[in-house]
Structure 1
Amino acid sequence: TQCLAAGGVWRKAKFNFDSFPEAFLSVFIIATGDNWQDLMYEAMDVVGVDQEPIRDNAKWACVYFFVSILFGFLLWANLFVSALIDNFNRIAHDENDGKLLVTDEQRVWQQAMLLATVHADNSWRRSPPETPWKAVVHGVVSKYTFDAFSVFMIVLNMVTMMAIRANPSKSEDDYQVWMGNTLAIWYMLEAYLLIVAMKWKNYWQSGWNKIDFIVAVSGVVGLLIPDVYESGVGGAFRMLRFLRLFKIVQVSKGLRTLFATFLSAIPGVVNVALLSLLFMYIYACLGVALFGDMSSDYLGAALSEYSNFVTFPKAMVSLFVSYTGNWQGYFTDIYVDDRCYENTSLPANVTCSPRYVSIFYFVTYVITGVFFLGNLFIAIILERFSFCASEEGVGGSGESNFLYATMTLKRVARQISRSVREATKLAPSERQDAYVEKRRARSKAGSGTATPSTPHLSKNNSIQRASTASTTPASASPHGDFDPFDDPTDEVIDTVRSNLEEIRAKTQSPIAVEDDLDFEDVKSALRDALPTQDAASLLAAANAVDRLPRSRR
């Protein structure tokens, strides 16, 4: 009454429950969980129809909002996300063979990153150098204690960097310099020891080692030229030390899985991000056309001189903020001008009638952009995490294990073919002399026995071993005890030849066997011979395949 007598206009809250459409809109805002508490506070102040609100007059109204949050936001919204993810995984695996939202080229990149992250090449640990002092270094570096000490130094580096603060005392500054030099010396020493033990070629093949080497080089520069830290590039040299922290990812199985998830999810995330940008572009153009005439006096909670719908760039900023949250703030400012609720006279160009078109604009944007496209990021990450976890052994064997085994077996086949060609160039007497000399060398090296076990493929393409078993020497090839000078029995030759030709026939490959095994043949043999895809089966399959070129001599 006092409001009307003073010439004012009585206005109800922007979002209320006076009618079904208005109540539906209010519940939608609550279900999204965006600034729902503002609606609850207004409801708790309600007194009656056309009566001025009183603070906390209806406290029990909060129960309605708590229940709405429980069933609308926590239950319904998460069920929506679960249904989206479930259908995404079903379509991705059943209909597209895991290629949904990624191209064939991106799929290859995913597998390459996964192989590089999950399957580290540790063959150098089983092949010590021949030089005595290098062999000693190799023995030290190959031990678990060396890796554990490296992790300890990384943690020490983390603690040291945590102690950095503005305006340090002289003692703190001296401590940072001393610890920085100590860590730099250790990084250089570690890189040197690894290069000696692994050889430069093997060392540089690892991306982690490349990062370590860059950090070590930066430490050398810092020690030789201390003034570099005081120059303009000093900050960059200090930042290089942070790269060392990624070493923990390499030694931690859980962190390695998360890192592999991040890498393998990049193609799908990029594609969804581009689709989201296209969606925001369309809505930004539409927003400028619908709301570009709003006043520049921004008094609301979200609209400002930097974030509005007057120009396209500012509209993109507003939509990006709405995409990540706080969409209700922009909707509130546009739906009804906040100046309509001030106790002052309104400018002539301000209208207080609701912009109903904003309801359609923001509701469709939230449902399509935030709920669908936004949750696709979650679906991709969860799918890739499940896949990467399986590659680490959490959920069983996976695709990258098969690819890694295929690549390993391909290298074995090349080594076998090369050895066979060298052996066939010798005369029978020379071959026998080489055979005796090799056996004598093995005996001197303490290999244990001169008769290796002979795994072979049975008629059902499973891996079996011959009845004769022996201990594999530590210095033997990681892919088995292949020796081109061995004289396999006719029974073994016939069995291996028969089964491998059977595998080749399944893939419609020629029966004739060449000295250089074809990659597709090796992959086919691996697919049939390694149903469990474990390390023991890989070793057995490699030794079985190596009998193929030997049987052609």
Structure 2
Amino acid sequence: MDSLSEPRDENLEQDDLEEEIEEEEEKPKIGMRPTRMANIKSKVKPIPPASSFFIFSETNKFRVFCHHICTHSKWCNFILGCIVASSVTLACEDPVVSKSYRNLVLKYMEYFFTTVFTIELLLKLVSYGFILHKGSFCRSLFNILDALVVTFALMSFAIDNEKMGVVKILRVLRVLRPLRAINRAKGLKRVLQCVIVAIKTIYNIMLVTFLLEFMFAVIGVQLFKGTFYACTDPTKLTEVECQGEFIDIDSDDRASIEPRKWKNNEFNFDDVSKGMLTLFTVATFEGWPNLLIKGIDSVSEDHGPIQMARPFVAVFFITYIIVIAFFMVNIFVGFVIVTFQKEGEQEYKNCELDKNQRKCIEFALKARAQRRYIPKDKMQHKIWWIVTSQPFEYFIFILILLNTITLAMKYDDSPKEYQFVLDVLNMVFTGAFALEFILKLFAFRIKNYFGDPWNTIDFIIVVGSIVDITIGKILPDQNIISISFFRLFRVMRLVKLLSRGEGIRTLLWTFIKSFQALPYVFLLIVMLFFVYAVVGMQLMGKIATDNEDSTINHNNNFQTFPAALMVLFRSATGESWQDIMMSCSDKPTVKCDKNSDDADKLCGSSLIAMSFFISFYIICSFLAS
């Protein structure tokens, strides 16, 4: 027995040693060379060592089969493709006519995608279990998001009644579907985790900012409660006087008889909630001069404005802008940057070196010796010496500057002789740059010439300029797109300035590198715009666009996905976003489109509009910072 047991022990020890070696290979190696956590290959999540739904054991064949399918790369790519395609269908819906042919086709596609996502959900539930044990499906927030998206879709199909408020809410919640892609993109997931950590870190600043906002709103109520009312007839200063009709003269000096109306300003300080909304618009630097004038001209409660009645109240608005818009916002942005830097350092937690040492090593590893081509042929060497000399570089630089000046000398309705001189100068400069190309090509040969990206750009500009001149001579009076396109190559000669001077090239290199470091942040912002555009279409797509007094018009609405994106981009830049928000509120003039199912009904909602635009502006500003 002893003789038999000894080999078994040796085999067990050998197996244990092999397992330890495999574990060591799986762990990230700690060494002098820094390794990003993102570069460490992630393993397929194994089946948890517990039963699934108390039915399927860890070694159950059906469970192993389900795990193999849901972790297979082709299945994962198929699911990612379905997520992208289903997100596109959300953007293609017609929010005005709910029963249109387009929506009917998209509904059948919705059935298909929901079926696929339901199968994926069931496979994962069988593979990992529900929630009781470690590593189960619902122990991950992203998996819970997937389950909610599928559940909401199934519920919307089960309760197929457009007029029910629950169905409208479920249809809006479908916009969570694009967020499922976050769990499949590691870099995007990492950026989102950084954003969440940043929010947790700066909640104290957010709380202080909110308290200051509340304090200023209370002060604003005390100063301006009921003082922003005014009569449409500026000669009447009280509501009692504001009766009857008056003659109104518009900007074109046309007179019309209009009824007098006693109106309140859309943004006012009649209560604390309205005061906080008004102050938030001031913090975004939108419409604050008008509010400042309203405050200065205010007299007392239920009294019309008198010019420069209370100039001292300007201190209130100036103090608020300095404290909130300048001071607190800069602290907020600073904390966000510091938090992102700290989270970025977590990627190097397997490295024993500090930040400066890592940078030095990365620079040393990426450094490459510069190669310089020197021709051996005498004639070629002479040309090479000329085109690489400093006087030649200065000469080309002067030509570029002169060409830039001539490009800036064009203006509308210029004399034909003047245009002829500019065209001749354009041909002279094109010939000079073409000669530079020929000389450099002869000096460096094809391989070495096109090995420099700047030379490739010069070649494209020269070819485009020659084609521009040729087409201009053949078709002198034809204004077609192809000619306009090739004329752009004249302006592209300004790019040649970037290749001259080491300082400009270094600055351009830094600019490009900074963009290369932010692809996932940009992708997260794109996803934010997509989600809010689809939500805007679902909630505010039926608002009529023929109201002359509204900022929701034919060029600014939520009836199509591209138009919704333009509205959001305008709001993100802070261009009159508060006017768009008020045009979507529950005012009597905000009615539904005449082609919609709710024609001539009220389509606005103050709660939805304010929640939508304020949350979008805050999140967009947070990500952009």
TM-score, structure 1 normalization: 0.55
> Structure 2 unaligned runs (5+)?
1-238, 245-258, 350-361, 591-598
- 2:555 is the alignment partner of 1:303: no
1:57 aligned partner, one-letter code: A
Alignment-derived partner of residue 356 in structure 1: 607
* Kept in 1: contact 2:427–2:469 (CA 8 A): yes
CA displacement at 1:255 relative to structure 2: 2.6
2:439 aligned partner, one-letter code: L
Alignment-derived partner of residue 2 in structure 1: 240
Task: Count matched residues.
Answer: 347
Off by >6 Å, runs of 4+ in structure 1: 3-9, 222-226, 348-354
Among 333, 337, 341, the alignment partner of 2:583 is 333
CA displacement at 1:151 relative to structure 2: 0.9
Among 302, 310, 321, the alignment partner of 1:58 is 310
Structure 1 residues 89 and 152, CA, compared in 2 at 3 Å: closer, same or farther? Answer: farther
CA distance in 2, matches of 1:37, 1:120: 58
Structure 1 residues 173 and 91, CA, compared in 2 at 3 Å: closer, same or farther? Answer: same
1:421-440 to 2 correspondences below 5 Å? none
Could you list the per-position Cα deviations for residues 264-286 of structure 1 after superposition, in whole angstroms to 9, with x for gaps in the alignment?
Answer: 34445553343223222322333
1:63-212 to 2 correspondences below 5 Å? 63-92=315-344, 94-96=345-347, 123-124=372-373, 127=374, 129-212=375-458
Alignment-derived partner of residue 255 in structure 1: 504
CA distance in 2, matches of 1:277, 1:255: 30
Alignment-derived partner of residue 318 in structure 1: 567
Among 362, 372, 377, the alignment partner of 2:622 is 372
Structure 1 residues 178 and 89, CA, compared in 2 at 3 Å: closer, same or farther? Answer: same
1:366 aligned partner, one-letter code: Y
Could you list the per-position Cα deviations for residues 467-503 of structure 1 after superposition, in whole angstroms to 9, with x for gaps in the alignment?
Answer: xxxxxxxxxxxxxxxxxxxxxxxxxxxxxxxxxxxxx
Structure 1 residues 229 and 205, CA, compared in 2 at 3 Å: closer, same or farther? Answer: farther
CA displacement at 1:322 relative to structure 2: 0.8
2:580 aligned partner, one-letter code: Y
CA distance in 1, matches of 2:588, 2:413: 46
CA displacement at 1:223 relative to structure 2: 7.0
* Kept in 1: contact 2:299–2:306 (CA 8 A): yes
Q: Describe the SS at the equivalent of 1:173.
A: helix
Alignment-derived partner of residue 17 in structure 1: 269
* Kept in 2: contact 1:222–1:228 (CA 8 A): no
Structure 1 residues 220 and 17, CA, compared in 2 at 3 Å: closer, same or farther? Answer: closer
Structure 1 residues 119 and 250, CA, compared in 2 at 3 Å: closer, same or farther? Answer: farther
* Kept in 2: contact 1:194–1:203 (CA 8 A): yes
Could you list the per-position Cα deviations for residues 186-235 of structure 1 after superposition, in whole angstroms to 9, with x for gaps in the alignment?
Answer: 11221122122222211011111112123333455567777246265443
1:13 aligned partner, one-letter code: N
Structure 1 residues 35 and 205, CA, compared in 2 at 3 Å: closer, same or farther? Answer: same
1:328 aligned partner, one-letter code: Q
Structure 1 residues 87 and 175, CA, compared in 2 at 3 Å: closer, same or farther? Answer: same
Structure 1 residues 237 and 352, CA, compared in 2 at 3 Å: closer, same or farther? Answer: closer
Structure 1 residues 273 and 219, CA, compared in 2 at 3 Å: closer, same or farther? Answer: closer
2:610 aligned partner, one-letter code: I
Structure 1 residues 354 and 4, CA, compared in 2 at 3 Å: closer, same or farther? Answer: farther
CA displacement at 1:11 relative to structure 2: 5.0
Structure 1 residues 296 and 179, CA, compared in 2 at 3 Å: closer, same or farther? Answer: closer
CA distance in 1, matches of 2:272, 2:532: 27
CA distance in 2, matches of 1:223, 1:138: 29
CA displacement at 1:69 relative to structure 2: 1.7
Structure 1 residues 351 and 243, CA, compared in 2 at 3 Å: closer, same or farther? Answer: closer
CA distance in 2, matches of 1:64, 1:12: 21
CA distance in 2, matches of 1:224, 1:372: 51
CA distance in 1, matches of 2:261, 2:600: 17
Structure 1 residues 208 and 78, CA, compared in 2 at 3 Å: closer, same or farther? Answer: same
Identical-residue share of aligned pairs (%): 26
Structure 1 residues 43 and 300, CA, compared in 2 at 3 Å: closer, same or farther? Answer: farther
CA displacement at 1:338 relative to structure 2: 8.3
CA distance in 2, matches of 1:360, 1:224: 57
> Structure 1 unaligned runs (5+)?
99-110, 341-347, 376-553
2:587 aligned partner, one-letter code: D
Structure 1 residues 85 and 352, CA, compared in 2 at 3 Å: closer, same or farther? Answer: same
Structure 1 residues 291 and 134, CA, compared in 2 at 3 Å: closer, same or farther? Answer: closer
Structure 1 residues 121 and 223, CA, compared in 2 at 3 Å: closer, same or farther? Answer: farther
TM-score, structure 2 normalization: 0.49
CA distance in 2, matches of 1:190, 1:138: 11
* Kept in 2: contact 1:203–1:209 (CA 8 A): yes
- 2:290 is the alignment partner of 1:38: yes
- 2:459 is the alignment partner of 1:213: yes
